[in-house]
Amino acid sequence: MAKTRPPRTATPEIYADIYKMFMAPVSAFDCGAKCGEHNNGAPICCSTEAAIPIVDKHEWKLLKKRTDLWHEYKAPDKATEKELSDLHHDCVAIECKGFMSCERENRSMSCRTFPFFPYIDREGDFLGMSVFWGFEDRCWVQSHLQIVNLRFLTEFVAAYEMLFQVDRDEFTANRDHSASMRRVFTRHDRPIPLLGRDGHLYKVTPTTHEIKTARFHEFGRWGFYEKDKPAEPAKHWATLDPNSLKGLTRASR
Ligand code: SF4
Ligand code: SF4
């Protein structure tokens, strides 16, 4: 009798399991209220003018079955159409009804994980989370990384472990994105922030790939938030990695 092969891509059932497990918000703060002040009240990552959610076709199948919150995204102009034409054939660009209609349990993976992606080193090890740096001038969280809750970090890592086990393309895309981040940060001579899967804060030197423990204030504040005072850190940093908080208050003076 033929054996059943394990799936080579994440099925809708796997996405359903991930959705069930990965519900933690990034922090105790409503970060959408912070960035929304600069976007007519709407969280920046919930506006397709800023970020278009992309889902895998199996995730799309699941979402369509669960809710009518989402529809396929229609590019408003030729430039966006061209940008989307490079999408992997398994991916779909989608749009929700807007932040006033958000359904927490029916958020896509990209909603749940933003502004983070899984950082993978050149040896292919998944080390923790880093940021979608292209949004650092608008995304409040990226200027206040100390607000990230341990529960979010733990669920994020578990979600990607589940995905990577079955979806090689997802792993490759994130490994390539990590390499691209190293190239960009080399050009800008900046350390890469890494919220390690062990709950500690690190910095990656992009030229040498060296990883050292870090302090939040080393990553600076950006764009709208350049002059912000540091937000209150999540509790776990004070117990697990107190060194990471040193200099945070001083940095704002
Ligand atoms: S993750 Fe960033 S862009 Fe999204 S709502 Fe929070 S602060 Fe705004
Ligand atoms: S589903 Fe919710 S979190 Fe996701 S883009 Fe829409 S409003 Fe934002």
Residue range(s) defining the domain that contains residue 218 = 12-252
Which tens digits make up the pLDDT trace of 109-145? Answer: 999 999 999 999 999 999 999 999 999 999 999 999 9
On whether residue 2 sits in a domain, the answer given is no
On whether residue 1 sits in a domain, the answer given is no
Phi, psi of 128 (to 5 degrees): 155, -150
Which tens digits make up the pLDDT trace of 187-224? Answer: 999 999 999 999 999 999 999 999 999 999 999 999 99
Count of domains observed in the chain: 1
What local confidence, expressed as pLDDT, does residue 7 receive?
56
What local confidence, expressed as pLDDT, does residue 4 receive?
53
Pocket test for ligand 2, best of 46, 95, 108 (most atoms within 8 A of CB): 46
Low-confidence ranges of the chain (pLDDT < 50): 1-2, 250-253
On whether residue 138 sits in a domain, the answer given is yes
Prediction pTM value: 0.94
- Which ligand is in closest contact with the Cα of 105? 2
What local confidence, expressed as pLDDT, does residue 5 receive?
54
Pocket test for ligand 1, best of 26, 29, 31, 104 (most atoms within 8 A of CB): 31
Give just the sign of the alpha carbon dihedral 126, 127, 132, 134: negative
What local confidence, expressed as pLDDT, does residue 87 receive?
86
Looking from the CA of residue 99, the nearest atom of ligand 2 is 7
Residue 215 CA, ligand 1 centroid: distance in Å: 22
On whether residue 6 sits in a domain, the answer given is no
- Tokens linked to 61: 């199948």
Q: Print burial letters for 89-107: b (CB count within 10 Å at least 16), e (below 16).
A: eebbbbbbeeeeeeeeebb
